[in-house]
Amino acid sequence: MFGDFMKRPIIGVIARPYITDNNRQVLCILENVRRNILRFGGIPLLILPTQDMIYINNKESELTLEDKEILDTQIDMCDGILMPGGDRIYHYDNYICKRVNEKNMPLLGICMGMQVMCNYNNSNRNIKVEGHKKPDDEYVHNVNISKSSKLFNIINQEEIKVNSLHGYMVPNSGEYSISAKCDNVIEGIEKKDELFNIGVQWHPERSDDEPSTKLINSFVNACKIYSKLK
């Protein structure tokens, strides 16, 4: 039993700044993300930013060499990275995304995490989108998945219903290929030839339907494979 536990991959989750009801500043992981990583056989590890600042209130300065070295140390502990949703993209998001791509490490981007993947190495500015930010609805709209994509190979459906919490859309997919769309909105991106490098604009961690569980399970399995290849 102990041996099986030790085979679980370490999955880094990038911390998100938050203010509690009693005005305390915290860096956190969403409970649905933590529970799904454990559910499918991974061990979540919170990746924390490095600068001496309150991230949610202050304008972030550029990362120093020491900041990057500390982030590298945290990334190297992991077998995969999950970039969760959030309200603001930070320099540490872009740096982590860059390093994970350089290492060909499994990467799953969710909502804003997908937007980081599209924008980390360019100067794209996201565009407001109407009708997609409905956090209380289980399903908001359909998403069409390209049959030639890795995402289709995982989910095995050309059209699925998804939840939607985003108020912005990416103008293009950067260095990624587009795997899913809703009308003119990019909903999925990927690097098909890599072990797992996929971003989605919806929140699979908030649903227990078959497409969501297949996607997260495939990501964790890729992290298991990567842990053996390191």
In terms of CATH architecture, what is 2-229?
A: 3-Layer(aba) Sandwich (3.40)
What stretches of 90-209 show up as alpha helix (H) in DSSP? 91-103, 112-119, 150-155
Q: Residue 228: how many CB atoms within 10 A of its CB?
A: 9
Judge contact between 153 and 218, C-beta under 8 A. Answer: no
Contacts of residue 209, defined as CB under 8 A and 6 or more positions apart, other chains included, come to none
Check pLDDT > 60 for residue 6.
Answer: no
Distance between alpha carbon 185 and the CA centroid of its chain, in Å? 18
d(CA 51, CA 68): 10
Whether this prediction's pTM lies above 0.75 is answered by yes
pLDDT of residue 4: 52
What stretches of the chain show up as alpha helix (H) in DSSP? 2-6, 31-39, 65-76, 91-103, 112-119, 150-155, 210-229
Check pLDDT > 50 for residue 228.
Answer: yes
Q: What is the pLDDT of residues 104-159, one digit of tens each?
A: 999 999 999 999 999 998 877 788 898 898 988 999 999 999 999 999 999 999 99
Q: What is the pLDDT of residues 27-72, one digit of tens each?
A: 999 999 999 999 999 999 999 999 988 888 777 889 999 999 999 9
d(CA 97, CA 84): 12
Judge contact between 91 and 63, C-beta under 8 A. Answer: yes
Please report, as a single letter, which amino acid is at residue 17.
Answer: P
Between 203 and 5, residue with greater pLDDT: 203
Judge contact between 13 and 82, C-beta under 8 A. Answer: yes
Contacts of residue 95, defined as CB under 8 A and 6 or more positions apart, other chains included, come to 63, 68, 71
pLDDT of residue 2: 46
pLDDT of residue 5: 52
Q: Where are the domains of the chain?
A: 2-229
